[in-house]
C-alpha cells in the first residue's frame, strides 16, 4: 500500500482542521497576555507623559525660585529711534535724561576713480595703522592698544577687485568695498571700529619694501598726509560719541554704552536736539508671566493625572492609571503643597494670600486683584517664592518656588516615584513577553505532538479502510462465484 503523505487524504479525517482547533484552544491564554501587555505599555506611556509634565512644573518652579526674576527690570525710551535701552539684573529703578550731541563714527576713506575694478595696481604691501589724527591731519598718534597690520598684495592678483578681497581676507580691522558710479570704480575703506582712536594711516611699499609715491601702483591707496600719502580722500572723520546723561557730559568711542549706568545699556542711534527720557522700572510683566507659566504647567499636570486615574461611569471606561496608587499619590502631594504654610514671609504666608485659588478639580485660578496687590510688595513676594532657609531637614522657611522644585525633583529624580513606577511596569512588560514566548514554545510542541498523533491515527484508519475494502471485494467475489 502506498504511504499517505498528506494527513486525512487516506482516511478522510480532517487532521489539519482538528489540530488547528486544538492548537487554538492551547493558544487562547495568549490573547489575554497580549491584552495585558497593551495595558502595561499604555500605563508606561502615561507615566512618560506625567514625567514630562512634572519636568515642566519643575522648570517653572525653578524660575519662580530664582532671585534674578524678582530683581528683573525693564526700561523704556522716550525716543527709541534715537536712544535704545536694555537692562540687566543690576539696574536700579529710576529715570535718566540722555541727550546725544554726536555719534561715534568710523574713519572712512575713498580712492580716486579708476576705469573699472579690473585695473591692475601691482604688488607690494599696504600697512594699516590705527590711531588719531589732529584737526589738520598733520600729526598722527598711534593707538597703543591696536596692532598695525601688513597686507601683502600678490602682484599676480592685484586688480582693484582682488586688492579689495585680500584686504577683507586679512581681517585687518578694515572693511573694503568697491563703489561704482559714472566716474568709474572707487575703493572705499572703513575702519571696523568707531571712535577717534580708530582712524587709519595707510602706507604703501613695493615688493622690495620701498615707499610708493602717492598715486603710483598701490600708492593710490595710501593715506598719510604729512608724508605725501594723499591719494585717498577722507569721507568721514573718526569721532567719539558725545552724550550728556543727567547733566554730565560723557565721551565714548562706541555708540553702545554699557558701563555708564549700572545695569543699563544705552544704544545711541542718532543725535538729538533735546534730551530723551529713559525710565527703568521693575519688570512686573516678566514676574506675572513666570507665575502664569507655573500655573499653566501645574494645571496641565493636575488635569492629566485626573483624566488618567478616573473611572467614567457613563462609558464604563477606566483611565489607564485608574487605581494606580502612585499616580493618585503624586496628584495629592502636589495639590496639598498648594495649601502649605510658609514662614518665609510675614506678610504672605500662603499662596491663597496672593490670589492662588484652588478649584474643586484641583486646578489653580488666579485672582488678578490679589496678585496685582502682591506685586506691589515685591520684597515679601520675593520671599514667598524665592526664600531658601538652607535647612535640609525642614522647608518651613523655603519659598514655594523651591518647595515645588524639590517636590518635582523627588518625583522624577533617579529614584523618584515616576522612574521607579516606570521601571516596575517595564519589568512586568518584560515578564509578560517572557510568558508569551514560553506559551508559544509550548503551543508549538503541542502542535507537533498532535500532528504526529493524528497523522498516525490517519495512517491506521487508512490501513483499516484499505483492509475493509479488500475484504469487501473478496466477499463480493465469492458471492458472485457462488451464484
pLDDT, position 206? 92
How confident is the model over 182-209, as pLDDT tens digits? Answer: 999 999 999 999 999 999 999 999 988 8
Cell of 27: 493558544
pLDDT, position 10? 53
Sign of CA dihedral 277, 282, 284, 289: positive
More confident residue, 74 or 31: 74
Find out whether 359 and 365 touch, Cβ atoms under 8 Å. Answer: yes
Instruction: Tell me how far apart the alpha carbons of residues 409 and 405 are, in angstroms, rounded to a whole number.
Output: 6
- Element holding 175 (H helix, E strand): strand 174-181
pLDDT, position 5? 47
User: Is the pLDDT at 16 greater than 80, yes or no?
Assistant: no
User: What is the band of 475 on the pLDDT scale with cuts at 50, 70, 90?
Assistant: confident
Cell of 249: 557730559
How confident is the model over 154-191, as pLDDT tens digits? Answer: 999 999 999 999 999 999 999 999 999 999 999 999 99
Instruction: Tell me how far apart the alpha carbons of residues 322 and 317 are, in angstroms, rounded to a whole number.
Output: 10
- Element holding 61 (H helix, E strand): helix 15-64
Mean of pLDDT values over 223-244: 95
Mean of pLDDT values over 454-470: 73
Mean of pLDDT values over 116-127: 95
Mean of pLDDT values over 269-284: 96
User: What is the band of 1 on the pLDDT scale with cuts at 50, 70, 90?
Assistant: very low
Find out whether 458 and 3 touch, Cβ atoms under 8 Å. Answer: no
- Cell 508671566 locates to 289
User: What is the band of 145 on the pLDDT scale with cuts at 50, 70, 90?
Assistant: very high
How confident is the model over 347-385, as pLDDT tens digits? Answer: 999 999 999 999 999 999 999 999 999 999 999 999 999
Instruction: Tell me how far apart the alpha carbons of residues 308 and 303 are, in angstroms, rounded to a whole number.
Output: 9
Mean of pLDDT values over 257-261: 92
Cell of 442: 509550548
Residue ranges of domains in the chain: 38-68+286-419, 73-104+241-282, 108-236
User: Is the pLDDT at 303 greater than 50, yes or no?
Assistant: yes
pLDDT, position 90? 78
User: Is the pLDDT at 63 greater than 90, yes or no?
Assistant: yes
Mean of pLDDT values over 214-224: 92
Q: DSSP for 74-91, please give it.
A: EEEETTTTTEEEEE-TTP
- Which residues are CB-contacts of 281 (< 8 A; sequence separation ≥ 6)? 73, 74, 75, 76, 93
The pTM score is 0.71
Query: What share of the chain has pLDDT > 70, as a percent?
Result: 95
Instruction: Tell me how far apart the alpha carbons of residues 352 and 357 are, in angstroms, rounded to a whole number.
Output: 6
Cell of 255: 555708540
Amino acid at each position: 500500500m502506498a504511504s499517505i503523505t498528506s494527513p486525512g487524504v487516506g482516511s478522510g479525517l480532517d487532521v489539519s482542521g482538528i489540530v488547528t482547533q486544538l492548537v487554538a484552544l492551547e493558544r487562547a491564554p495568549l490573547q489575554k497576555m497580549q491584552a495585558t501587555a497593551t495595558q502595561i505599555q499604555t500605563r508606561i506611556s502615561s507615566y512618560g507623559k506625567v514625567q514630562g509634565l512634572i519636568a515642566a512644573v519643575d522648570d517653572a518652579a525653578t524660575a519662580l525660585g530664582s532671585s534674578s526674576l524678582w530683581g528683573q527690570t525693564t526700561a523704556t525710551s522716550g525716543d527709541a529711534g534715537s536712544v535704545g535701552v536694555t537692562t540687566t539684573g543690576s539696574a536700579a529703578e529710576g529715570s535718566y535724561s540722555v541727550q546725544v550731541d554726536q555719534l561715534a563714527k568710523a574713519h572712512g576713506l575713498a580712492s580716486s576713480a579708476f576705469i573699472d575694478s579690473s585695473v591692475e595696481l601691482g604688488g607690494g604691501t599696504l600697512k594699516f595703522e590705527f590711531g588719531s589724527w589732529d584737526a589738520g591731519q598733520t600729526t598722527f598718534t598711534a593707538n597703543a592698544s591696536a596692532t598695525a597690520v601688513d597686507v601683502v598684495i600678490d602682484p599676480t592678483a592685484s586688480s582693484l577687485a582682488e586688492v579689495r578681497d585680500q584686504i577683507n581676507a586679512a581681517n585687518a580691522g578694515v572693511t573694503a568695498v568697491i563703489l561704482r558710479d559714472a566716474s568709474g570704480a572707487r575703493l572705499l575703506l572703513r575702519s571696523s571700529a568707531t571712535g577717534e582712536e580708530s582712524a587709519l594711516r595707510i602706507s604703501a611699499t613695493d615688493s622690495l619694501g620701498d615707499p610708493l609715491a602717492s598715486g603710483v601702483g598701490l600708492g593710490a591707496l595710501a593715506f598719510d598726509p604729512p608724508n605725501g600719502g594723499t591719494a585717498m580722500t577722507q569721507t568721514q572723520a573718526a569721532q567719539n560719541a558725545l552724550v550728556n546723561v543727567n547733566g554730565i557730559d560723557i565721551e565714548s568711542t562706541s555708540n553702545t554704552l554699557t558701563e555708564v549706568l549700572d545695569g543699563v545699556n544705552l544704544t545711541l542711534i542718532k543725535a538729538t536736539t533735546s534730551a530723551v527720557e529713559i525710565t527703568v522700572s521693575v519688570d512686573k510683566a516678566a514676574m506675572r508671566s513666570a507665575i502664569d507659566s507655573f500655573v499653566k504647567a501645574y494645571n496641565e499636570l493636575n488635569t492629566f493625572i485626573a483624566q488618567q486615574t478616573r473611572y467614567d461611569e457613563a462609558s464604563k471606561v477606566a483611565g489607564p492609571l485608574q487605581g494606580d496608587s502612585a499616580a493618585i499619590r503624586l496628584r495629592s502631594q502636589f495639590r496639598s503643597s498648594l495649601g502649605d504654610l510658609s514662614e518665609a514671609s510675614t506678610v504672605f504666608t500662603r499662596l491663597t494670600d496672593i490670589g492662588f485659588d484652588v478649584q474643586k478639580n484641583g486646578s489653580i485660578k488666579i485672582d488678578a486683584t490679589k496678585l496685582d496687590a502682591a506685586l506691589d510688595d515685591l520684597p515679601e513676594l520675593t520671599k514667598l517664592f524665592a526664600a531658601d532657609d538652607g535647612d535640609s531637614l525642614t522647608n518651613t522657611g523655603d519659598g514655594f518656588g523651591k518647595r515645588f522644585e524639590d517636590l518635582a525633583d523627588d518625583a522624577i529624580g533617579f529614584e523618584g516615584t515616576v522612574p521607579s513606577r516606570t521601571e516596575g511596569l517595564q519589568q512586568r512588560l518584560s515578564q509578560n513577553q517572557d510568558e508569551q514566548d514560553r506559551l508559544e514554545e509550548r503551543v508549538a510542541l503541542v502542535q507537533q505532538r498532535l500532528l504526529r498523533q493524528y497523522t498516525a491515527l490517519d495512517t491506521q484508519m487508512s490501513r483499516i479502510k484499505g483492509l475493509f475494502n479488500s475484504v469487501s471485494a473478496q466477499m463480493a467475489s465469492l458471492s458472485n462465484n457462488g451464484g
